[in-house]
Amino acid sequence: MIKVLVNGAQGRMGRTVLDAVKNDSELELVGAVDIFSGEVDGVKVETDLSAALDKYKPDVMVDFTRPNAVFQNVMTALEKKVSPVVGTTGLDDVAKEKIRDATEKFQTPAFIAPNFAIGAVLMMLLAKQAAKYMPDVEIIELHHDKKLDAPSGTAELTAKMISEVRNAHKQGHPDEVERLANVRGADYEGIHIHSVRLPGYVAHQEVIFGGLGQTLTIRHDSTGRDSFMPGVLLACKKVRTLSGLTIGLDKLMD
């Protein structure tokens, strides 16, 4: 049995993770942490992550907290030789490199995924393949209005994966003018990324390719947070077999 502690247990994702872990025969839920104490579905929620890690001695810490807290949470877990499985987005490249260094220092693997939905991973892989043949592309990501960071980690990773097979170039008319600032969205090596934040959405993304006389749209929709659970559970089971820092659910998929 793999012992799991859930950090961010009182949030929408955290509650869903608690249920998923409790119902998996290969995992044991040993603890829950949040900035708010209390109880979730009969599970006591603690507020001190470091103390909870010492108390429950989990193998894995699942983190769905906040962008301004996740880095320290991960470092705390690694110092105690607990493997983080991170779904919180907002970690920049500098933070990821520090985490990578910490995994080596403490000989404890860590796993980060911008998106745990298997369909979203397939969307990114298909987009990378399509970009070899249709290099003009834009990304639209749509999320609930409580999401704190933009663009989403999924959109950013999609753009990075596409850039591996596509030469950077300016898209649109060379003399185009933005009459409203940033109306064309963010620019990643010429790939425009647009972020939508509205009530009613969960997590959605379109990757739109344009070519001579045709367009191609690859879209993924998470209509419920349970869509992320197979990926989270897979990461919990696999992370201790990895080494260093692993980023992306595709690394765990055959």
User: Cis before residue 151, ω within 30 degrees of 0?
Assistant: yes
Single-letter residue type at 198? L
Single-letter residue type at 119? G
Cβ–Cβ under 8 Å, residues 109 and 29 = no
Determine how β-strand 110-112 pairs with β-strand 245-247: parallel
204 noted as active-site residue: no
Q: Which of 62, 56, 47 lies closest to 236, judged by CA?
A: 62
Check 57, 80, 147, 160 and give the catalytic one: 147
Check 3, 128, 143, 194 and give the catalytic one: 143
194 noted as active-site residue: no
Q: What residues are annotated to the active site?
A: 143, 147
